[in-house]
Structure 1
Amino acid sequence: MPGPTLTDIARAAEVSTATVSHALNGTGRLGESTRRRVREVAAALGYGSRRTPLTRTGTLGLAVTTYAGAPWNYVQVPYFSRLLTAAAATAHALGYALTVLPAERGGETLWHTLTVDGMLLLDSPEDDRVLRALRARGIPVVFDGRPADPHPDDVWVDNDHTTTTREVLDHLAAAGARRIALHAGYGREYYTGAVTRAYEEWCREHGCEPSVIPFDPEDAPGHAFDRAFSDRALSGRDSSDRTLSGPASSDRSCDAVHSLYDPGGRQVLAAAARHGLRIPDDLLLVCASEDPAYAETDPPVSTVTLRPETIAETAVTTLVARLDPALPAPSPGGLTVPARLCPRTSTGRPSG
């Protein structure tokens, strides 16, 4: 195969073709770190020699790239923790090692020199630098979550977020909710956008005004809800009022919350407690989370499981099929794993 072009190197190193030319020719006014990085990327891509097929290593890589470059520990998030365990078990059963990469890239050249046969990318966002580097090197990729800008031959494993969102909203409406807020808007991955679009469409169909409350992972007390909850303490109201007009009175901005991220449910519980709101009497709550502790909170919180173990097994098996010519090649496009709503007390009707 022909070697990489200057454009290939520029795309992978995230610089201009002029910068690549200066770096490789020792010309121009470039910083030494930029010149060195471009040369390392060029070497990793095989510049100056005919490109040879990648040497098989028997190793798969896995990375969460939603916030790639930021030093956050995704392993402590229940969804990723459970997915990683299942991915490692599936990879080992198929004869592969699994390397889990840190969210912080650890150097601009890591993705250009990484030696793996294929990669699993979780929650790849728009303009994903890691994905660009892997594509430039020709490393096969399978995605957990639909990529923002899929190529014709891309394969991904995901839930049907539109169907799941509608199920959650219908469940809340059936329990009496009239003004449902969405706790979202943090990530740039497909999941957040798909759920938000489905929520806004559902609101339009039901004549409701959408209300998206921004999520902040550091907001443990749930201050994002202060404005929505400030005038909502209903301690003197008979709970049976809810069966007549829903839990929302005219001075309340929302009577239910659907939170998209694992800490969100605890943030809502904290905010409700500070404002004297009773769950489920005054406020209904559903949280997308794989944390079993939500079954033991006071009250137990209804959750949506995205079934990360099934997603991991499907994604790893699909990636191995892309690598092994003896196996049937997977068809491009998305593979759907149904999510599941687990109703608990936080969306139950109050007594009386």
Structure 2
Amino acid sequence: MRRTTIADVARAAEVSTATVSHALNGTGRLAPATRVRVRALASALGYGDRDRPRPVTSRTLALAVTTYGPDPWDFASVAFFAQAIAAATAAAHEHGYALTALPSAPAEELWATLPVAGVLLIDSPADDPVARILRARGLPLAFDGRPAALRPGEVCVDNDHRAMTHQVLDHLADQGATRIALMDGRGADHYTRTCRAAYLEWCARHGVRPRPLPMPPPLVEDRGRTYDAVLSGPDRPEAVYGIYDPCGWRILASAERCGLSVPGDLLVVCASEDPAYARGTPPVSTVTLDPGRSARAAVGALVDLIERPRHRPRPVTVTVPARLRIRATSVRTAQLPASVEPGPGHSH
């Protein structure tokens, strides 16, 4: 492993090399908190050590969901992430590694000192400070969900969210809906950004007005009351596609308060791994992204990066198929069509 440089410390701390120099030498006019933080990161990264850093011998992997940055939230209670964590843990054990699932928003110093062999980041947002620190340490990285920039020696596993978004919207349009809303959130991750861009692209292609329905932050639970005014208005949507696990429950609760029948007055599709949607009355149409398969593939790729460091490939993206499961909430006919699944995944 190469020696850590002052530029590595500056990138990890998001400051200039001059600031790092001042912090380490006790010079310059720096806030005390900045000086302490830079010194801690420099020490954790091994800057200034006389000996070259020794390779990590840990047999532990780390998993983190960094979607919302410093905001804490209980991602493990969401079906998508719960399935991903369980599959990643099983895959790590099969390869002879332990796996630690980190809570959201841990202290920055933890990432600079965490004694692991490699890290799996799920839904890493643009300008992810965690990815920046881990890269500065030279740790092998795998991403579940495409990061803003994939570097040589890194692997990403993802779905074709653009194609799936278009498929859902085409299905709702085929059922007669002309006013289709997209329920999304404030995340800066690739999934959210791609679904939103695909929705706007589809609306432009079909000459219809976009109808975004932003979700409240993850810690806010309002049982869909945010949408009551929209669903009770004269220009209400005829269909809604929610791209997160809770979207379906929230829009169904709002529709009930507004006196709308589903699917008679409102068609609903939700991207979710929650099996309760299939047992609902009526059963809810869902998109599955197969997080178990994605997490297993990402862990396998991460282990390969760790154990074959001299053969790290150029950036690789593996695509896992998503699937639309059509149920009663998105069909206005008595006959339910078969579920639709895109073609097989591919690497490029």
Fold in common (TM above 0.5): yes
RMSD between superposed Cα atoms in Å: 2.0
Residues 66 and 123 of structure 1 are in contact (CA less than 8 Å); yes or no, is this contact kept in structure 2? Answer: yes
Tell whether 2:283 aligns with 1:300: yes
The aligned residue for residue 30 of structure 1 is 30
Instruction: Determine if the alignment matches structure 1 residue 228 to structure 2 residue 230.
Output: yes
Partners of 2:140 and 2:153 within 8 A in 1? no
Letter in 2 for 1:165: T
1:174 maps onto 2:174 in alignment: yes
| C-alpha displacement of 1:329 | 5.0
Tell me, what secondary structure is at the counterpart of 2:111? helix
**One-letter code aligned to 2:222:** A
Contact 2:123 2:146 survives alignment (8 Å): yes
Name 1:277's counterpart in structure 2.
260
CA contact (8 A) 2:153 2:313 kept: no
How do 1:199-278 and structure 2 match up within 5 A? Answer: 199-216=199-216, 217=218, 218-231=220-233, 251-278=234-261
Give the share of equivalent positions with the same residue, in percent: 53
The answer on whether the counterparts of 1:321 and 1:330 sit within 8 Å (CA) in structure 2 is no
Which secondary structure does the structure 2 equivalent of 1:334 belong to? strand
Q: What does 1:12-161 correspond to in 2, within 5 Å?
A: 12-49=12-49, 50-105=51-106, 107-161=107-161
Q: Distance in 1 between matches of 2:295 and 2:149?
A: 21
| Mapped partners of 2:310, 2:56: distance in 1 | 19
**Residue 351 to residue 95, structure 1, CA distance change in 2 (3 Å):** closer
Q: Residue deviations 1:36-55, cap 9 Å, x none? A: 32222111222113432422
Kept in 1: contact 2:145–2:156 (CA 8 A): yes
**Alpha-carbon offset, residue 289 of structure 1:** 0.6
Distance 1:103 1:349, change over 3 A: same
Paired AA for residue 263 in structure 1? P
Decide whether aligned partners of structure 1 residues 15 and 327 sit closer, same or farther in structure 2, where only a CA change above 3 A counts: closer
8 Å CA contact 1:183, 1:257 repeated in 2:
yes
Conservation of the 8 A alpha-carbon contact between 1:10 and 1:16: yes
Contact between 1:213 and 1:225, CA under 8 Å: does it hold in 2? yes
The residue type equivalent to 1:94 in the other structure is: H
Task: Write the distance in 2 (CA, Å) between the matches of 1:336 and 1:108.
Answer: 31
* TM score, norm. by length of structure 1: 0.89
Could you tell me which residue of structure 1 aligns to residue 305 of structure 2?
Answer: 322
Displacement of 1:191: 0.2
2-structure distance, mates of 1:171, 1:255: 13
Aligned residues of 1:156 and 1:335 also touching (Cα < 8 A)? yes
- What amino acid maps onto 2:58 in structure 1? T
**Separation of aligned partners in 1, 2:322 and 2:311:** 27
Please tell me the residue identity of whatever aligns with 1:305.
T
Cα deviation, residue 255, structure 1: 0.1
CA distance in 1, matches of 2:152, 2:42: 26
Q: Report the Cα distance in structure 2 between the residues aligned to 1:102 and 1:176, rounded to whole angstroms.
A: 43
Partner of 1:124: helix, strand, or coil? Answer: coil
d(CA) in 1 for partners of 2:8, 2:150: 19
- Partner Cα separation in structure 1 for residue 221 and residue 29 of structure 2: 45
Report how many aligned residue pairs link the two structures.
332
Q: Residue 109 of structure 1 aligns to a residue in which SS?
A: helix
Residues 142 and 318 in structure 1, CA contact (< 8 A), matched pair in contact too = yes
CA contact under 8 A between 1:321 and 1:328: conserved in structure 2?
Answer: no
Deviates most, 325-334 or 176-185: 325-334
Check conservation: 1:66, 1:189, Cα contact below 8 A.
yes
Offset from partner CA, 1:151-209 (integer Å, 9 cap, x none): 24432000000111111111111222111100013211000111111111111222211
- Give the TM-score normalised by the residue count of structure 2: 0.90
1:304-330 Cα offsets, whole Å, 9 max, x none, are 111011001100001111111299755
For residues 205-241 of structure 1, the C-alpha deviation after alignment (integer angstroms, 9 at most, x for no partner) is 222111111111424331332332123xxxxxxxxxx
Q: Which runs of no fewer than 5 residues in structure 2 stay unpaired? A: 336-348
Q: What is the deviation of 1:350? A: 5.3
Moved more, 282-291 or 194-203: 194-203
Moved more, 327-336 or 124-133: 327-336
Amino acid at match of 1:273: E
User: Where does residue 248 of structure 1 map in the other structure?
Assistant: none
